[in-house]
Amino acid sequence: MVALGGACAGQRSLPWPPPEHAALRDVWVVRHGWHARVAVARADVDASIWPESRDLGDVQYLEVGWGDRDFYPKPDPSLWDALDPVVRSTPAALHVGGFDRPPAEFLPETPIVRLRVSAEGFARLTRFIHEHYVLAQDAPVRIRPGYYPRSWFYLAQGRYHVLRNSNHWTAQALRAAGVPVVPWRALTAGRLIAQVEDLAVR
């Protein structure tokens, strides 16, 4: 668990907004009902930082979310699956999806906010994602197919709880990139989206 704090703790904060002369990268915040995920262009990803980004093959965009290992991957979760993380912290899963159109085209009915972060911030974001995979013999551990034709659920580091949920995780990922969101104010997808809308590319 110590490594999971490395993306945010012990590093200097990044300036916001990034300087105009800096190399910039796009990051999308995608709202799926109660949950928010983060998406990036795979061409921007340094595979030496996030080697698991290659697991879905040759895709143009990657979208990542984190959630409860029992509730998140199940197409028809039980009532207990929903209530369990309310009463205790539970194991976690990553959902990673790949697609070949920009997020707004692939998900035309979905609320999406585009941010621009520095190249350094982007590297920290991808390192944060990498550090949340559970690895077996240096490979990510698949649980089951995900929501898209090219997507998987993976075993993830960390413990899920209603007060440390998928939106809180996405806010932490954005903080690693230098985006000045406040994770404790992002316990719902709506509150996270409201924060990033004020920082969005116009």
Query: How do residues 42-52 score in pLDDT, each as one tens digit?
Result: 999 999 999 99
Asked if residues 63 and 39 have their Cβ atoms less than 8 Å apart, the reply is yes
- Would you say residue 5 lies in a domain? no
Domain region containing 93: 18-197
- Would you say residue 48 lies in a domain? yes
- Of 151 and 1, which is predicted with more confidence? 151
Asked if residues 112 and 61 have their Cβ atoms less than 8 Å apart, the reply is no
CA 81, CA 165: separation in Å to the nearest integer?
Answer: 14
- pLDDT of 116 > 90? The answer is yes
Q: How much is the average pLDDT of 6-16?
A: 63
- Would you say residue 78 lies in a domain? yes
- Would you say residue 202 lies in a domain? no
CA 90, CA 103: separation in Å to the nearest integer?
Answer: 30
- Would you say residue 4 lies in a domain? no
- Would you say residue 10 lies in a domain? no
Find all residues with CB under 8 Å of 190, minimum gap 6, and list them. 31
State pLDDT tens for residues 50-66.
Answer: 999 999 999 999 999 99
pTM above 0.95, yes or no: no
- Would you say residue 174 lies in a domain? yes
Number of domains, the chain:
1
State pLDDT tens for residues 141-175.
Answer: 999 999 999 999 999 999 988 788 999 999 999 99
